Amino acid sequence: MLEVRNVSKNFGGVQAVQSVSFTVGDNEIHGLIGPNGAGKTTMLNLISGLLSISGGEIELDGTPVHGLPAEQRARMGIARTFQNLRLFRNLSVRRNIEVAEIRMRGSKVADPALLSDAIDRFGLRGVMEHTPDSLPYGQMRRLEIVRALALRPKVLMLDEPAAGMNHAETDQLFENLTWLRARHPCSIVLIEHDLKFIMSACEKLTVMNMGRLLATGEPAEISSNEEVIKAYLGQGTHSNGRTKNEKLETDA
């Protein structure tokens, strides 16, 4: 179980995260949502250790992790993908996966069967010797997820995994995450703007707005929460589940 308690982060005068608390249960798919600039990516960076907290506590299975370096947290099972992909562009897909494994575990492949199954499931088997740049965007995002599995995560954090994907790819991603949880039980924390995806994929949601916690609970509770509707959902949802803001950004 991942517990975030009263966590804050200041960048100089900017209070990006202000005393936010939420809990991610074992084997739960938990969505982190909110408008642009709400502090979602900052929260993922604080949990993974890319940034240090200004206040509060983060615990994994009762062990405080907020004082530990990112690599140690990764070894304990906190894995993630990035909003802007961070793949080794000059290495093959195979090496990208192996490097993650070597760096974090000190052994080549900790769970070869899991990785092999994930490579098949996420459609990477036929492109193992290709470099990431030669792959369609959706496949690069899938590679990031498989690479994170090399750490055999307890908590897998995905920053906008459906960004840039078409409807068919988003549906496939949903099926893949369902498959993954059955194959390798772990908690999944998802940042996503695709509300249709998030509402069907997640069992719990945490909503942030301007650095603060707006609400945390089950999707049905959240979608009828007046404050959430006012700050986020009420921005106008399009048929693809995206908000007006995003549509405008896409159009720009």
Give the nearest distance from C-beta 36 to ligand ATP in angstroms: 3
Q: Give the separation between CA 210 and CA 187, rounded to whole angstroms.
A: 25
Give the nearest distance from C-beta 40 to ligand ATP in angstroms: 4
Q: How many CA within 13 A on the CB side of residue 191?
A: 22
Q: Mapped to the 3 state alphabet, what secondary structure does 64-94 carry?
A: ECCCCCHHHHHHHCEEECCCCCCCCCCCCHH
Give the nearest distance from C-beta 15 to ligand ATP in angstroms: 8
Give the nearest distance from C-beta 227 to ligand ATP in angstroms: 17
Give the nearest distance from C-beta 41 to ligand ATP in angstroms: 3
When the beta carbons of 16 and 150 are compared against ligand ATP, the nearer one is 16
**Pairing mode of beta strands 2-11, 14-24:** antiparallel
For binding to ligand ATP (CB under 6 A), which residues are involved? 11, 14, 16, 34, 36-42
Give the nearest distance from C-beta 186 to ligand ATP in angstroms: 22
Helices (H) and strands (E) in the chain, counts: 10, 10
When the beta carbons of 127 and 201 are compared against ligand ATP, the nearer one is 201
- Tokens 């961070």, residue located: 86
Q: Is 162 within 8 Å of 242 (Cβ atoms)?
A: no
Q: Across-strand partners of 208?
A: 213
Q: Is 211 within 8 Å of 18 (Cβ atoms)?
A: yes
When the beta carbons of 16 and 127 are compared against ligand ATP, the nearer one is 16
When the beta carbons of 119 and 207 are compared against ligand ATP, the nearer one is 207
Crossing angle between the packed helical segments 112-121 and 93-105, to the nearest 10 degrees? 150
For residue 137, give the H/E element and its range.
Answer: helix 137-149
Residue closest to 60 by CA, chosen among 9, 86, 109, 25: 25
Residue type, 136: P
When the beta carbons of 17 and 146 are compared against ligand ATP, the nearer one is 17
When the beta carbons of 41 and 48 are compared against ligand ATP, the nearer one is 41
